[in-house]
Amino acid sequence: MYKLLTFDGLAVEQNGKRLDNPGVHRKSLAILAVLAVEGSVSRERLMALFWPESGAERAKGSLNQALHLLRNHFKAADLLSGSTEIRLNADRMISDVAHFKQAITDCKYDKAVQIYTGPFLNGIHLDGTTGFEEWAENHRRVLEKQQMGALENLAYAAELNNEYETAVKWWQRLHRTDPFSSRATASLMIALGYTGDRAAALLLAREHQELLHSELGMKPDPAIDELAEQLRSRGSIPKQQFEPESRNISLKNPAYTDPGSTEQVPGRPVKGNAVDGVEYGHLQGRSMPSFLKKKKVTVLVLIVTVLAGTYTVYELVNRHSDASSQNQYTGLPFPKVPDKASVAVLPFINLSDDQDQEFFSDGITDEITSSLSRVSGLKVSGRTSAYQFKGINPDLVEIREKLSVAHVLEGSVRKSGSYLRINVQLVSTENGYQLWSETYEREADDIFKVQEEISREIINAIQNEISFAIRFPGYTVPTPDIQVYELYLRGLYFFNRLQIEQAIRYLEEATQRDPQFARAYAALAQAYSVPTAYSELSPVDSWGRGVEAAKTALRIDPNLPDAHSALGWLQMIGLNWDGR
């Protein structure tokens, strides 16, 4: 039995022994790698991937020769099957990548991380195969993301079982994979805190901040600084004082406990840069809110879990996600033929000289997504799904398969002072044809008109490809003040990164400068509903302010979906089932 090895290189094993010189051209092995990942690949696609510059007949001949040599070399006429669609016979050759993907699908994360020995096809480059190079890079990113998700799951499971040394091991491996991630750094710091190794946690924080500054020119992450300060302020503390049973709260999540009760309320693990619930003392000794004391402990478990997971729910529900969104861990397949009336708005690229303007490009992306989501009959990919492609140049086939959409809107934004330049294009994921494109050079004050024009043009272009009518309901200017609007976009930018205090600060200022800005109040309500270790407010105060903001938004605009959604979640968190 042969085994194809695709992680950290490209090689072949036979009966468990690695063949240092498999005797097959590297391009032929690369064909096997494509088949191992995708299962079934058309001849035309293989020709395009590996012989893009050859004529059709020459490419066809080269492919036939490569397949023939593979069958002969591995002495298996049935190694490959199919005439128009080529498949790899798993009875003759297995692969590590197929086993990895199956382990992820089966949630066997310990097996998955054992299989993943390094980046997919690491160091493999084939001259004259631009298509293959792009394909390999895209799958390299996807598989690495699945590997990181598996490590994160293993770390969480270890923490929940009080196996803190094991959790440190998994977080360290994740941190080595992505040393620039503040989320991975904070999680490792917390795990080290569990073990009592405060010095290592503080050293990690300093090294992370230095890395961000030296390699990326970024300012220190305030979440990491705050976490380090919380660790530093505790002084020399014995290891056992970091254990959950010696505290009134869990390090994983704020647990509202009654000082007169011995029962603890479990939470969920860390999420995002805000490191939800890493409460080194904020809630210790604080009484349980009175409106929760009357409820049973089983209900408390539910409510705290809902509170901690509010942001995730907003991503899935409030951002108009749909059933076709990809599971970030399993990578389950999507429908092969997407609905023609479907579109994904990929994150617009920030081309401004000032990189701090990324909030503006992200904001335009979100606003257009939200605008299109109000069109009856049009399926719009959710924000979370679309943002997995941020910062990369994905293949249209990959987008079509993962998001199950027939169209993709791509764009870039350059903002300099009051000058605005936006490039957009609508592309078919089926054939790569450009259906519509435009360049807008306007004053920043015209951003609302530009967003409306883009939405209308997208609807018109898609309308030409479908048999039923879709109609744009119109665009409502959220606020007449562009500066207030930018405050709102900055607030959303930080909210989506779970930097809640910054989000609240910008959204509060937006509502103060325009008391009729309903969407800013709705976003503020959402921000107050997300628990964070970096807020001076008690959970009860946050809950109250969130309800007040949501009700204010609804007084201004009774039909605002975001406000209804926020108020509903806040009422459920407060066990106010009748909403009064």
Q: Give the pLDDT of residue 318.
A: 42
Instruction: Supply 301's token pair.
Output: 């478990």
pLDDT for 477 beyond 90: no
Is residue 506 within 8 A of residue 512, CB to CB? The reply is no
Summarize the confidence of residues 44-69 as an average pLDDT.
89
pLDDT for 283 beyond 70: no
Q: Please tell me the least confidently modeled range out of 41-50, 168-177, 313-322, 455-464.
A: 313-322
Judgement on whether residues 134 and 163 belong to the same structural domain of the protein: no
User: 315-328 pLDDT, tens per residue?
Assistant: 433 433 343 344 33
Q: In the listed set 276, 308, 340, which residue is the last one of a domain according to the structure? A: 308
Instruction: Supply 367's token pair.
Output: 């606003």
pLDDT for 532 beyond 60: no
82 alpha carbon, distance to own chain's centre: 37
Q: In the listed set 143, 174, 206, which residue is the last one of a domain according to the structure? A: 143
Q: Give the pLDDT of residue 519.
A: 93
Cα 242 to Cα 184, 365, 531: the distances in Å are 20, 43, 21
Is residue 496 within 8 A of residue 240, CB to CB? The reply is no
| Nearest CA among 436, 303, 459 for reference residue 379 | 459
Beta bridge partners of 293: none
Is residue 282 within 8 A of residue 350, CB to CB? The reply is no
Judgement on whether residues 107 and 200 belong to the same structural domain of the protein: no
Mean residue pLDDT across the chain: 77
Q: Please tell me the least confidently modeled range out of 177-191, 199-213, 239-253.
A: 239-253
Q: Please tell me the least confidently modeled range out of 19-33, 141-155, 295-309.
A: 295-309
CATH of the domain at 548: 1.25.40.10
Instruction: Supply 464's token pair.
Output: 């030409």
Q: Which residue has the tokens 């293949």?
A: 395
Judgement on whether residues 450 and 560 belong to the same structural domain of the protein: no
Summarize the confidence of residues 11-36 as an average pLDDT.
83
Cα 143 to Cα 66, 73, 86, 201, 404: the distances in Å are 27, 29, 23, 29, 19
Q: Give the pLDDT of residue 244.
A: 34
Residue 181: partners with Cβ closer than 8 Å, 6 or more residues away: 174, 175
Judgement on whether residues 336 and 455 belong to the same structural domain of the protein: yes
Classify residue 471: in a domain, yes or no.
no
User: 495-517 pLDDT, tens per residue?
Assistant: 888 788 889 999 999 999 999 99
Judgement on whether residues 217 and 158 belong to the same structural domain of the protein: yes
Q: Give the pLDDT of residue 20.
A: 67
Per-residue pLDDT band for 425 (boundaries 50, 70, 90) equals very high
More confident site: 311 or 203: 203
User: 147-163 pLDDT, tens per residue?
Assistant: 988 898 898 888 878 88
Instruction: Supply 372's token pair.
Output: 């299109």
Phi, psi of 171 (to 5 degrees): -65, -35
Share of the chain above pLDDT 90, in %: 27
Classify residue 315: in a domain, yes or no.
no
Orientation angle between helical segments 518-528 and 482-495, nearest 10 degrees: 20
Q: Give the pLDDT of residue 574.
A: 63
CATH of the domain at 435: 3.40.50.10610
Supply the DSSP string of 455-521, one letter for each residue.
HHHHHHHHHTT-SS---------S-S-HHHHHHHHHHHHHHTTT-HHHHHHHHHHHHHH-TT-HHHH
Is residue 345 within 8 A of residue 386, CB to CB? The reply is yes
Q: Please tell me the least confidently modeled range out of 117-126, 294-303, 512-521, 527-536.
A: 294-303
Judgement on whether residues 491 and 409 belong to the same structural domain of the protein: no
Residues in the chain: 580
Helix H or strand E encompassing 567: helix 561-573
Classify residue 318: in a domain, yes or no.
no
Share of the chain above pLDDT 70, in %: 78
Q: Give the pLDDT of residue 487.
A: 94
Judgement on whether residues 153 and 52 belong to the same structural domain of the protein: no
Q: Give the pLDDT of residue 531.
A: 60
Judgement on whether residues 386 and 440 belong to the same structural domain of the protein: yes
Supply the DSSP string of 431-452, one letter for each residue.
T--EEEEEEEEEEGGGHHHHHH
Cα separation, 286 vs 539, in Å, equals 11
Cα 558 to Cα 374, 551, 562, 573, 576: the distances in Å are 16, 9, 11, 22, 20
User: 427-459 pLDDT, tens per residue?
Assistant: 998 888 888 989 999 988 889 899 989 998 998
Cα separation, 218 vs 221, in Å, equals 8
Sign of CA dihedral 185, 187, 189, 192: negative
User: 334-392 pLDDT, tens per residue?
Assistant: 334 457 889 999 999 988 887 778 899 999 999 999 889 888 888 998 888 888 888 77
pLDDT for 237 beyond 60: no
Summarize the confidence of residues 405-424 as an average pLDDT.
90
Classify residue 472: in a domain, yes or no.
no
Judgement on whether residues 222 and 279 belong to the same structural domain of the protein: yes
pLDDT for 556 beyond 90: yes
Judgement on whether residues 335 and 435 belong to the same structural domain of the protein: yes
Classify residue 61: in a domain, yes or no.
yes
Highest-pLDDT range among 258-267, 273-282, 414-423, 507-516? 507-516
Q: What is the pTM of this model?
A: 0.45
If you compute the radius of gyration of the chain from its CA atoms, what whole number of angstroms results? 26
Beta bridge partners of 438: 424
143 alpha carbon, distance to own chain's centre: 14
Is residue 244 within 8 A of residue 253, CB to CB? The reply is no
Classify residue 475: in a domain, yes or no.
no
Summarize the confidence of residues 571-576 as an average pLDDT.
65
Cα separation, 572 vs 566, in Å, equals 10
Diameter of the chain measured on Cα atoms:
82
Judgement on whether residues 445 and 517 belong to the same structural domain of the protein: no
Per-residue pLDDT band for 252 (boundaries 50, 70, 90) equals very low
Judgement on whether residues 180 and 302 belong to the same structural domain of the protein: yes
Cα separation, 66 vs 367, in Å, equals 49
Q: Give the pLDDT of residue 464.
A: 82
Instruction: Supply 535's token pair.
Output: 């807020």
Q: Give the pLDDT of residue 182.
A: 85
Q: In the listed set 463, 490, 506, which residue is the last one of a domain according to the structure? A: 463
Classify residue 468: in a domain, yes or no.
no
Q: Give the pLDDT of residue 108.
A: 86
| Nearest CA among 126, 125, 134, 128 for reference residue 59 | 128
Domain that holds residue 342: 324-463
Domain count, the chain: 4
Summarize the confidence of residues 457-472 as an average pLDDT.
82
Supply the DSSP string of 224-288, one letter for each residue.
HHHHHHHHHTT-S--GGGGSGGGSSS-SSS-----TT-----------TTTTTT--SSSSTTPPP
Classify residue 473: in a domain, yes or no.
no
Residue 389 per-residue DSSP state: G
